């Protein structure tokens, strides 16, 4: 049976769950493989494809979003079909997919976030950066977030690029944002923002930051905001200095931070403060509103394995603020019927082959790619070799006769199943209609696109 698979007479039927970068890179690797005939059906719970390229990447970083054109090329392959608005585990089950596909590739990313686990975290306006990002980018699940921007100060916890994105969006002027594809509702809310002080707070020191050079550089060029760094907090301990020796990227980050410390206040209306060696320990509320965040000062010490960890000193500082955004990492959510590593928030795997966590036994015909595979790290491009690794494992298994053909391989059967269930899936051709409408609306408004936000609006447009 297995040797007949992946031939023109019996193409290998692959389902890719998730239309983000890792899903598209996996689809491309599956379709491009010269020796085998493969068809790919890609499912996404949202109408719009592209995952975090559309709903994560900052609106003022449009050049990054150009990668979607590469995904469009994959989607134009005759062996590819798109099923938008179809949620794995709700609209189609694990067993149904296994019935209709020889192989399933999970590319579902990391759909939740890590918490701080401190008192006051559930107060209104204590938000995940994940939610805030999704709100300004028009993700249908977060359009009603309504962050309260009437306060004078906001605290962003974390020093990765997501923290930098949310701090920058809060710091930018309307003029700096209006020519982007930020949603109109977010732009209106930001135009009325009273936030003058934005604190980016790091648990460890400046030699342990996760942001990249381009991101920190931008804070030196904001129309409305000064970048503030305290001299004191830039002083490196011996272990930190040694850890970044020869690391040109970290040295450059430090150069930017030192330059901000030197320039100091220039009298702009807003200030972005980079603060180091501080951990939030309590979000303080009064009458149901955040009024301040209590921080503990940390000290660094080298630990086994060459890492440098932070521990509290028992000295505290309270920063008045009305909003806190935690940007301490995205996290996966379990998919029904699929193994899951609760601690890492990923699907356990060996080189992309899904394994049962308790037995380490491979689950035949199931693979994982992207953030669902390795956790929420890496840029868009990191997902390409990562997806290729998983697809190589898949072809190796095919070669070794490890893949059993599914019982319902016809391309129509899955369409019949979804239709019989009343699932209004959106095809690639329909997505192209929506995409063109967004771009056309953008042209009129002087923006790259004006996004549809709500699924109902997208479906209504398609019925016109």
Ligand X SMILES: Cc1cc2nc3c(=O)[nH]c(=O)nc-3n(C[C@H](O)[C@H](O)[C@H](O)COP(=O)(O)OP(=O)(O)OC[C@H]3O[C@@H](n4cnc5c(N)ncnc54)[C@H](O)[C@@H]3O)c2cc1C
Cβ-based neighbours of 243, under 8 Å, separated by 6 or more:
207, 306, 308
Query: Residue 449, SS3?
Result: coil
CA–CA distance, 75 with 48 (Å, rounded to integer): 13
Kindly give the residue spans of alpha helices, DSSP state H, lying in 150-247.
161-171, 174-177, 184-191, 213-218, 231-234, 238-243
Chosen residue from 6, 16, 52, 328 binding ligand X by CB under 6 A: 52
Rounded distance between C-alpha atoms, residue 278 and residue 295, angstroms: 6
| Residue number, 296 or 386, with CB nearest to ligand X | 386
Binders of ligand X in range 88-107 (CB under 6 A)? 88-89, 107
Retrieve residue 86's tokens.
């179809």
- Out of 371, 395, 425, 452, the only residue in the binding site for ligand X (CB under 6 A) is 371
Interface with ligand X (CB under 6 A), residue from 379, 404, 436, 456 = 379
CB of 309 to ligand X, least distance (A): 25
Choose one: 266-274, 288-296, 378-386, 443-451; the region binding ligand X (CB under 6 A): 378-386
Closest CA to 114 of 320, 377, 296: 377
In the list 349, 383, 390, 455, the residue contacting ligand X (rule: CB under 6 A) is: 383
Q: Which of 39, 108, 126, 240 binds ligand X (CB under 6 A)?
A: 108
Please give the Cα distance from 355 to 350 (Å, whole number): 7
Radius of gyration of the chain measured on its C-alpha atoms? 24
Judged by CB under 6 A, the number of residues near ligand X is 37
Who's near 296: CB < 8 A, 6+ residues apart? 278, 279, 281, 312, 313, 314, 315, 316
Q: Which residue is nearest to ligand X (CB)?
A: 20
Is 57 one of the binding residues for ligand X (CB under 6 A)? yes
Which listed range, 42-50, 117-125, 224-232, 427-435, lies at the site for ligand X (CB under 6 A)? 42-50
Residue 300 Cβ, how far from ligand X at the closest point, in Å?
Answer: 27
**Distance between CA atoms of residues 203 and 309, nearest Å:** 9
Distance between the two ends of the chain, CA-based, in angstroms?
A: 46
281 to 310, contacts with ligand X by CB under 6 A? Answer: none
The distance of closest approach from Cβ of residue 381 to ligand X in the complex, given in angstroms and rounded to an integer, is 6
Among all chains, which residue has been given the structure tokens 């410390």? Answer: 261
133 binds ligand X (CB under 6 A): yes
Residue nearer to ligand X on the CB measure, 214 or 242: 214
Position among 44, 102, 389, 438 found at the interface with ligand X (CB under 6 A): 44
Smallest distance, Å, CB 294 to ligand X?
Answer: 27
**Entry field: residues in the chain:** 464
Query: Applying CB under 6 A, which residues contact ligand X?
Result: 17-23, 43-46, 51-52, 56-57, 61, 64, 87-89, 107-109, 111, 133, 161-162, 165, 330, 335, 370-372, 378-380, 383
């Amino acid at each position: 049976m297995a040797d007949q698979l992946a031939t023109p007479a019996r193409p290998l039927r692959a389902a890719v769950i998730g239309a983000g970068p890792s899903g598209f890179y996996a689809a491309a690797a599956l379709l491009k493989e010269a020796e085998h005939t493969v068809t790919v059906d890609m499912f996404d719970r949202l109408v719009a494809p592209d995952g975090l390229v559309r709903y994560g990447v900052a609106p003022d970083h449009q050049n990054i979003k150009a990668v979607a054109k590469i995904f469009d090329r994959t989607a134009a392959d005759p062996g590819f079909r798109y099923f938008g608005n179809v949620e794995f585990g709700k609209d189609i089950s694990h067993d149904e997919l296994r019935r209709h596909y020889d192989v399933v590739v999970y590319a579902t990313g990391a759909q939740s976030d890590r918490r701080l686990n401190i008192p006051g975290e559930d107060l209104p306006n204590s938000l995940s950066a994940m939610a805030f990002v999704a709100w300004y980018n028009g993700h249908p699940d977060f359009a009603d977030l309504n962050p309260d921007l009437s306060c004078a100060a906001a605290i962003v916890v974390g020093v990765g690029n997501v923290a930098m994105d949310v701090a920058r969006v809060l710091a930018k002027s309307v003029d700096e944002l209006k020519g982007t594809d930020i949603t109109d509702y977010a732009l209106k809310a930001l135009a009325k923002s009273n936030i003058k002080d934005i604190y980016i707070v790091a648990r460890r020191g400046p030699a342990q930051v996760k942001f990249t050079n381009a991101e920190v550089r931008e804070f030196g060029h904001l129309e409305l905001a000064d970048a503030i760094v305290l001299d004191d907090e830039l002083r490196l301990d011996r272990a930190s200095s040694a850890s970044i020796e020869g690391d040109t990227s970290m040295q450059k980050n430090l150069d930017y931070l030192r330059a901000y410390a030197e320039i100091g206040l220039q009298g702009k209306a807003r200030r972005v403060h980079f603060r180091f060696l501080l951990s939030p320990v309590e979000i303080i509320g009064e009458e149901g509103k955040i009024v301040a965040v209590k921080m503990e000062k940390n000290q660094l010490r080298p630990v086994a394995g060459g890492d440098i960890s932070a521990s509290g000193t028992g000295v505290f500082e309270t920063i008045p603020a009305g909003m806190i955004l935690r940007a301490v990492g995205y996290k996966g959510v379990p998919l029904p019927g699929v193994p899951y590593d609760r601690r890492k928030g990923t699907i356990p795997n060996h080189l992309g082959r899904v394994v049962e966590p308790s037995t380490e036994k491979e689950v035949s015909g199931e693979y994982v790619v992207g953030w669902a595979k390795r956790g929420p790290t890496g840029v868009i491009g990191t997902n390409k070799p990562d997806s290729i690794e998983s697809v190589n494992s898949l072809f190796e298994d095919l070669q070794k006769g490890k893949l059993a053909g599914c019982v319902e391989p016809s391309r129509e059967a899955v369409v019949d199943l979804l239709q019989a269930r009343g699932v209004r899936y959106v095809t690639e051709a329909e997505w192209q209609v929506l995409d063109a409408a967004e771009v056309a609306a953008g042209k009129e408004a002087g923006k790259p696109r004006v996004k549809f936000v709500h699924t109902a609006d997208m479906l209504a447009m398609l019925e016109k």
